[in-house]
Amino acid sequence: MELHGITDTILQEAKEAAEIIIKEAQEFGDSILEKQRQIAIEDAGTQRSLLLKKAANEAEVNRLRKLAKAKMTANWIVLSKKEEIISAVLNEAKKRLQHMTKTEKYASVLESLIISAGISLGGNSLEVILNEADSALSLPFKKMQEEIRKKTGSKTKLALSKEKIQGMGGAILKTANGKIVMDNTYEDIFLRRSQELRLKISEILFQ
């Protein structure tokens, strides 16, 4: 089943559960109103119409309160299911990125991430920190240095650090004095763009 099909099925189940909750709340409110009416009708004397009006008001307040609570619960069910789906899509994206680090295309992606980080830091002497696997890749440091120089106007020297990071991929760059750091690892990119990605996924799946 395709993702859209799974999404539709899960949300339909959530909506059906929500509708049941609202229906039960409506029926509960109606039953209270009917009971109060019966009590008022059975009560003889001049107070009957007053009791009936009071009972109707109290029952309506109860019904609206129950209905509002039911709608809140129903909305929570649907939102919860949507959050589960969005999280599942993000996790799948992370798995695919992890797989991509094992392909030939990854070296050029890593190269772009290093250049981007180097430009953000303004060039000059920069330390490049990679994970264990990426440190073994044959990266075109001279080419990357030149790209950063062109963009920043600063002569750039990239040095591969002996320090290693833990993670899927990407790079961390530091200035020579270590005071300024640019984290372009997959994990940090996901973190920085988390809200944007969630909104985009929501737009694609639920609109």
Is 174 a residue whose pLDDT tops 70?
yes
User: Is the pLDDT confidence value at 187 over 80?
Assistant: yes
- From CA 33, how far away is CA 17, in angstroms rounded? 25
Provide the pLDDT confidence category of residue 125 given band limits of 50, 70 and 90.
very high
pLDDT band, residue 164 (cuts 50/70/90): very high
- Strands in the chain per DSSP E: 125-130, 157-164, 170-175, 181-185
List pLDDT tens digits, range 191-200: 888 888 888 8
Quick check: 135 and 161 in contact, CB under 8 A?
A: no
Specify burial of residue 5 (Cβ count, 10 A radius: 0-12, 13-18, 19+).
exposed
Distance CA 194, CA 201 (A): 11
Give the separation between CA 114 and CA 116, rounded to whole angstroms: 5
DSSP secondary structure string, 121-144? TTSSEEEEEE-HHHHTS---HHHH
Give the C-alpha separation, 187 to 171, whole Å: 10
Instruction: Give DSSP secondary structure letters for 90-127.
Output: HHHHHHHHHHHTTSTTHHHHHHHHHHHHHHHTTSSEEE
Task: Compute the average pLDDT of residues 12-36.
Answer: 67
pLDDT in tens, 83-121: 888 888 888 888 888 888 888 888 999 999 999 999 999
Strand partners, 128: 160, 173
